[in-house]
C-alpha cells in the first residue's frame, strides 16, 4: 500500500512538473526553427559558391559568387542574432574554438596593418577574398556550429555539397563534349573543363575534396545500401572528372586525404587481424590505381612532366618571391590579401621570360607561403594552431559512435590543403576549410566550456522576424558591384567597337556605382581618350593610380597623358610624366616594359640621352625584344651618334635574330655610306625571308653587288 501511494504521489509530481514545463515548449520549437533556417541559409551559400556565375559581367565567376554570398550573409547574420536573443550570447572556450578566434583576429589585425587596406577589406580584382569575404566564411562556420545540432543535421551539408557537385559535374561533361551554351573567349573548356568554377585548377581541387569526402563516408559510416551506392557513384564520377580536368594539385589532395583516412580508420576500427588485412588490401588497390593513373591518363602525363622539369620554373620563381616577401615582413606580413599589392616589387625579370610580359600574381600558389607572406609568423601560428586543434579533436573523438561527420570533414580539409600546396585560392573553393572547421566547432560545442556574455532575452517572435528582415534588406546594397562590373564589361565592348560616347557613359556608371575599383577608373580614362577628352582622361588615370599604385599599367597610362600635355608645353607636365614613369618602375622594378615606355616618352619629349639610358636598362632585364634596340638606336641617331645607333642594332640582331632590325640596320649603314656592309645585311635578311618587301626595295636602291 505504501509503495502504491508513493507511486501515485510521484505520478502527480511528474504531472505537475510537466505542466510547469509545458509553456516552454514553444520557445524550444522556435529555437529549432531558427536553427534550421540558419542551416538552410548556409546550404544555399555553399550552393552559390559552387554553382553561381554570370556571363553578362566582366568577372564572370568570383565576383558573382562573392556578391550573392555577401548579400545572403546579412540574412544569416540576422538569423544568428535571433537565435542568440532567445538562447543567450555564449562564448565557447576550447582548443578548436580559441584557435578559430585567433585566426579571425589575425585576419582583422593584418587588415589594419596592410599596405592597401581597400584590397585587404574587399580583395583583389578576380579573387575578392578580402576580410569581407572571410567574415562571411567565418559566419558560415559559426552558423554550422550553432545550427547543425551535431551530428543530427550535418547530413544537410553533405546532401547540399553532393547535389551541387553532381550538377557541376554534369556541366563539366557538357563542356568536355563541346556542348557548352556559353562561348568562352579566354579558354576552351573541351580540353580542360572548368564547370562553374571558371578555372580548371580550382575545379580539380574541388573534385579531389569531394572524392576524398565520399571515400571517408564509405569508410566511416554505415548507411543504407542504396545511399552508399550513391556515394560510391559520386566518388567515381568525381575521380573520373579529375582525370579529365588534369589538375596536378588534385593528386596531392587525394594523397593528403588518403594519408589522413588511413590512421583514422585503424584507430576507429582497432588493430585486429581482419582490419589489418583489409587495410593492406586497400593499400594495394590504391597503389595499383596510382600506377594506372600515372601511366594511362592525361593527369599522369602532366605529373610526370614535373619530374622532367616541364612547367616548373614559373612556380619556383613565384615561391622565391613569396618567401622573400615573408623574410622582409616576418611578423605580420605585407597585409591580409595584399599579395598582389606587394608582388610586383618582388617579381624577377626572369619571370617575364617564362610566363610572358606584364603578367602578375595575386597568390603564392601555395597556401603556406601565401599565409606567411600576407600575415607573417602570427598568421602561420594561428592557422597551424587551428589545424593542430582540429587534428587532436578528431583523433580523440575517432572512436565515438557519432564521430563520422567530423572525420569526413577532417579528411576533406586535408585534401583541400594538400591540393593547396601548389594551387591558389578562389571564391569557388575557399569556403571548404571554413565549412569543415564549422563541423569541428559543432562537434566540439557539445563539450566545450561556455562563458555567457548575455543572458537569454526571449523577445517576441515578431521582433526576431523584424531583425532578420531588416538585416536581410541590406542585401540589396551588396549587388551594386554586379551592376558596376556589368557596366565595365559593356564599356570595354564599346571601346572595342570604337563607340566613344557609349564607352564613356558606361565607364562613368561603373565608377559611380563602385568607385573603389581602380580598373574602372582606368577604363574610364581609356574611354575618354577615344572622345578625345585628354584632360578628363588624365584625371581618371590619376584616380586609378591613387587606388592601385602597385599596378604599373595605370602609371603608364598616366605618363602617356602627361606626355601629351608636355608636348603642348603645359607647365609641370613633363616632370609629371617622368614622375609617373618613375612610380611605375618603383612599383615593379624588374619589369622591362616600364623602362621601355619611359624611354619612348623621353624620346618623344626630346630627351634622347635619357631614352638611351632607359632602353639600356630594359635590354639588361629582357634582351630578346627587338623594340628596345630600335628605340635606343633611334635615340642615338637623333644625337648624331651613328656608330652607337648601328651598334644597338647589331646587338639586337644577335640577341633576337629580328629581320626588322636587319632592315633598319641596312638603312643606317646606307645613311653612313657603308654600302658593302648594308648589302651583306640585306642578303642575310633575304636568306631568312626571301619575300621581305622592305629588304628587296633597299637592295634595288643600292644594287645587289
SS3 assignment, position 453? strand
**Among 71-85, 390-404, 455-469, 476-490, whose mean pLDDT is lowest?**
455-469
Looking up cell 569557388 gives: 428
Q: How far apart are CA 270 and CA 261, in angstroms?
A: 14
CA 336 to chain centroid, in Å, comes to: 13
Phi, psi for 453 (deg, rounded to 5): -90, -25
For CA atoms 449, 453, 457, 461, the dihedral sign is negative
Residue entry with cell 615593379: 588
616 sits in which H/E element: helix 608-621
DSSP state of 58: S
List the grid coordinates of 609: 640621352
Q: Which residue has the cell 580523440?
A: 396
Point out which residues pair with 451 in neighbouring strands.
91
**pLDDT, averaged across the chain:** 89
Q: Which of 346, 340, 348, 422 is nearest to 374 (CA)?
A: 340
CB atoms < 10 A from the CB of 478, how many?
18
Asked which of 168-177, 351-360, 576-585, 639-648 is least confident by mean pLDDT, the reply is 351-360
Lowest mean pLDDT among 171-185, 266-280, 407-421: 266-280
- pLDDT of 169 strictly over 90: yes
pLDDT in tens, 460-498: 878 888 888 888 888 777 788 899 999 999 999 999 888
Q: Does an H or E element contain 301, and which?
A: helix 298-307
The answer to whether residues 549 and 587 touch, using CB atoms and an 8 Å cutoff, is yes
Length of the chain: 705
3-state secondary structure of 454: strand
The answer to whether 261 and 215 are in contact (CB under 8 A) is yes
Rounded-to-10 torsion of CA 249, 251, 254, 260: -80
- Domain membership flag for residue 559: no
C-alpha pair distances (Å), 343 with each of 45, 372, 533: 31, 13, 33
Q: Does residue 227 sit within a domain?
A: yes
Q: How many domains, the chain?
A: 1
Burial group, residue 458, by CB count within 10 angstroms (0-12, 13-18, 19+): middle
DSSP 114-175: -S-HHHHHH--TTT--SHHHHHHHHHHHHHHHHHSTTTTTHHHHHHHHHHHHHHHHHHHHHH
- Residue 403 belongs to some domain of the structure: yes
Going by C-alpha positions, the residue among 287, 229, 293, 278 that lies closest to residue 258 is 287
Neighbouring-strand partners of residue 90: 452
Cross-strand pairs, 89:
454
User: Could you tell me where the DSSP H helices lie in 361-517?
Assistant: 367-397, 404-419, 431-445, 461-473, 480-497, 500-513
Q: Which of 305-309, 380-384, 647-651 has the lowest mean pLDDT?
A: 305-309
pLDDT of residue 21: 44
Of 689, 691, 692, 652, nearest to 668 (Cα)?
652
* Phi then psi dihedrals of residue 33, to 5 deg: -60, -50
Residue owning grid cell 580548371? 200
27 CB-near residues (< 8 Å, 6+ apart): 86, 458
CB atoms within 10 A of CB 582: 14
- What's the average model confidence in pLDDT over 25-38? 69
Q: Tell me: pLDDT of 25 over 50.
A: no
In percent, how much of the chain has pLDDT > 90? 67
> Does any domain span residue 98?
yes
Q: Which has the minimum average pLDDT: 19-33, 416-430, 685-699? A: 19-33
3-class secondary structure for 654-692?
HHHCCHHHHHHHHHHHHHCCCHHHHHHHHHHHHHHCCCC
- Mean pLDDT across 576-580: 96
User: Phi and psi at residue 312, in whole multiples of 5°?
Assistant: -110, -30
The pLDDT score that the predictor gives to residue 10 is 53
For residue 672 the three cell numbers come to: 653612313
- Whether 686 is covered by a domain: the verdict is no
Domain-located, residue 78: yes
Residue 18 has pLDDT above 50, yes or no: no
For 171, the grid coordinates are 556541366
Q: pLDDT value at position 364? A: 94
pLDDT tens digits for range 134-166: 999 999 999 999 999 888 999 999 999 999 999
As a whole number of angstroms, the distance between CA 183 and CA 139 comes to: 36
All 3 cell numbers of residue 665?
A: 640596320
* Mean local confidence (pLDDT), 634-639: 94
Express each pLDDT in 536-564 by its tens digit.
Answer: 999 999 999 999 999 999 999 999 999 99
The per-residue pLDDT for 704 is 59
Q: Mind listing the pLDDT tens digit for each residue in 296-344? A: 677 767 766 666 666 688 889 999 999 999 999 999 999 999 999 999 9
487 versus 2: the higher-pLDDT residue is: 487
Say which residues have a Cβ less than 8 Å from residue 329's Cβ, sequence separation at least 6: 342, 373, 376
Place of cell 540574412: 75
Long-range contacts formed by 274-283: CB under 8 A, 24+ apart: none
Cβ burial of 460 (10 Å; 0-12, 13-18, 19+) is exposed
pLDDT for 74 equals: 94
What is the per-residue pLDDT for 16? 41
Question: Model confidence over 426-465: pLDDT tens digits?
Answer: 999 999 999 999 999 999 998 889 887 778 787 787 888 8
Residue 611 pLDDT level (bands cut at 50, 70, 90): very high
**Domain-located, residue 613:** no
Residue 591 in 3-state DSSP?
coil
How far is the C-alpha of 125 from the C-alpha of 123, rounded, in Å?
A: 7
684 found inside a domain = no
pLDDT at 29 over 60: no
Range of the domain at 420: 33-470
Q: State the average pLDDT over residues 282-293.
A: 75
What pLDDT, on a 0 to 100 scale, did the predictor assign at position 305? 66
3-state secondary structure of 450: strand
Q: What is the pLDDT of residues 192-236, one digit of tens each?
A: 999 999 999 999 999 999 999 999 999 898 888 999 999 999 999
pTM above the 0.85 mark? yes
Whether residue 247 is predicted with pLDDT greater than 50 in this model: the reply is yes
Average pLDDT over residues 407-431: 94
Rg (CA), the chain: 32
Amino acid at each position: 500500500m505504501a509503495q502504491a501511494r508513493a507511486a501515485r504521489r510521484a505520478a502527480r509530481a511528474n504531472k505537475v512538473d510537466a505542466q510547469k514545463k509545458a509553456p516552454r515548449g514553444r520557445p524550444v520549437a522556435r529555437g529549432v526553427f531558427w536553427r534550421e533556417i540558419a542551416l538552410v541559409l548556409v546550404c544555399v551559400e555553399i550552393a552559390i559558391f559552387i554553382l553561381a556565375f554570370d556571363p553578362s559581367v566582366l568577372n564572370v565567376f568570383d565576383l558573382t559568387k562573392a556578391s550573392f554570398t555577401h548579400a545572403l550573409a546579412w540574412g544569416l547574420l540576422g538569423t544568428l542574432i535571433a537565435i542568440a536573443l532567445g538562447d543567450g550570447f555564449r562564448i565557447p572556450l576550447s582548443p578548436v574554438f580559441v584557435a578559430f578566434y585567433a585566426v579571425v583576429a589575425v585576419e582583422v589585425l593584418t587588415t589594419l596593418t596592410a599596405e592597401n587596406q581597400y584590397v585587404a577589406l574587399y580583395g583583389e580584382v578576380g579573387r575578392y577574398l578580402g576580410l569581407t569575404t572571410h567574415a562571411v566564411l567565418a559566419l558560415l562556420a559559426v552558423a554550422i556550429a550553432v545550427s547543425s545540432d551535431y551530428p543530427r543535421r550535418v547530413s544537410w551539408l553533405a546532401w547540399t555539397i553532393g547535389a551541387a557537385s553532381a550538377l557541376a559535374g554534369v556541366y563539366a561533361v557538357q563542356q568536355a563534349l563541346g556542348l557548352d551554351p556559353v562561348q568562352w573567349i579566354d579558354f576552351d573548356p573541351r580540353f580542360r573543363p572548368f564547370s562553374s568554377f571558371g578555372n580548371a585548377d580550382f575545379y580539380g581541387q574541388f573534385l579531389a575534396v569531394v572524392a576524398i569526402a565520399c571515400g571517408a563516408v564509405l569508410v566511416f559510416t554505415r548507411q543504407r545500401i542504396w545511399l552508399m551506392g550513391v556515394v560510391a557513384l559520386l566518388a567515381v564520377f568525381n575521380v573520373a572528372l579529375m582525370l579529365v580536368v588534369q589538375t596536378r594539385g588534385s593528386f596531392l589532395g587525394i594523397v593528403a586525404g588518403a594519408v589522413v583516412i588511413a590512421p583514422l580508420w585503424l584507430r576507429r576500427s582497432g588493430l585486429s587481424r581482419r582490419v589489418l588485412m583489409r587495410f593492406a588490401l586497400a593499400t594495394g588497390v590504391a597503389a595499383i590505381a596510382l600506377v594506372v593513373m600515372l601511366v594511362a591518363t592525361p593527369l599522369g602525363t602532366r605529373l610526370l612532366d614535373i619530374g622532367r622539369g616541364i612547367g616548373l620554373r614559373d612556380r619556383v620563381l613565384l615561391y622565391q618571391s613569396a618567401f622573400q616577401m615573408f623574410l622582409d615582413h616576418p611578423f605580420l606580413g605585407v597585409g591580409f590579401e595584399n599579395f598582389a599589392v606587394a608582388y610586383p616589387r618582388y617579381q624577377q625579370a626572369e619571370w617575364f621570360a617564362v610566363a610572358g610580359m606584364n603578367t602578375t600574381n595575386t597568390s603564392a600558389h601555395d597556401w603556406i607561403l601565401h599565409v606567411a607572406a600576407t600575415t607573417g609568423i602570427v598568421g602561420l601560428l594561428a592557422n597551424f594552431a587551428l589545424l593542430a586543434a582540429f587534428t587532436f579533436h578528431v583523433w580523440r573523438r575517432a572512436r565515438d559512435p557519432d564521430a563520422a561527420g567530423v572525420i569526413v570533414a577532417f579528411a576533406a580539409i586535408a585534401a583541400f590543403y594538400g591540393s593547396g600546396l601548389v594551387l591558389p585560392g578562389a571564391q569557388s573553393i575557399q569556403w571548404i576549410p571554413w565549412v569543415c572547421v564549422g563541423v569541428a566547432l559543432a562537434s566540439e560545442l557539445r563539450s566545450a566550456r561556455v562563458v555567457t556574455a548575455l543572458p537569454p532575452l526571449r523577445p517576441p517572435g515578431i521582433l526576431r522576424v523584424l531583425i532578420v528582415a531588416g538585416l536581410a534588406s541590406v542585401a540589396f546594397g551588396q549587388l551594386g558591384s554586379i551592376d558596376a562590373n556589368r557596366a565595365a564589361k559593356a564599356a570595354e565592348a564599346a571601346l572595342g567597337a570604337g563607340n566613344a560616347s557609349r564607352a564613356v557613359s558606361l565607364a562613368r556608371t561603373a565608377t559611380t556605382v563602385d568607385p573603389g575599383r581602380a580598373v574602372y577608373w582606368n577604363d574610364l580614362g581609356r574611354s575618354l581618350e577615344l572622345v578625345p577628352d585628354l584632360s578628363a582622361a588624365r584625371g581618371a588615370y590619376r584616380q586609378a593610380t591613387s587606388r592601385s599604385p602597385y599596378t604599373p599599367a595605370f602609371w603608364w597610362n598616366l605618363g602617356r597623358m602627361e606626355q601629351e600635355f608636355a608636348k603642348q608645353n603645359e607647365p609641370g607636365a613633363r616632370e609629371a610624366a617622368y614622375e609617373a614613369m618613375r612610380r611605375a618602375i618603383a612599383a615593379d622594378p624588374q619589369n622591362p616594359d616600364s623602362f621601355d615606355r619611359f624611354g619612348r616618352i623621353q624620346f618623344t619629349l626630346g630627351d634622347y640621352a635619357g631614352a638611351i639610358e632607359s632602353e639600356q636598362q630594359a635590354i639588361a632585364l629582357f634582351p630578346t625584344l627587338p623594340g628596345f634596340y630600335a628605340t635606343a638606336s633611334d635615340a642615338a641617331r637623333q644625337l648624331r651618334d651613328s656608330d652607337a645607333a648601328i651598334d644597338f642594332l647589331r646587338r639586337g640582331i644577335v640577341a633576337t635574330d629580328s629581320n626588322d632590325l636587319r632592315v633598319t640596320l641596312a638603312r643606317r649603314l646606307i645613311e653612313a655610306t657603308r654600302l658593302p656592309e648594308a648589302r651583306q645585311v640585306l642578303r642575310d635578311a633575304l636568306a631568312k625571308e626571301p619575300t621581305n618587301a622592305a629588304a628587296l626595295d633597299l637592295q634595288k636602291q643600292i644594287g645587289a653587288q
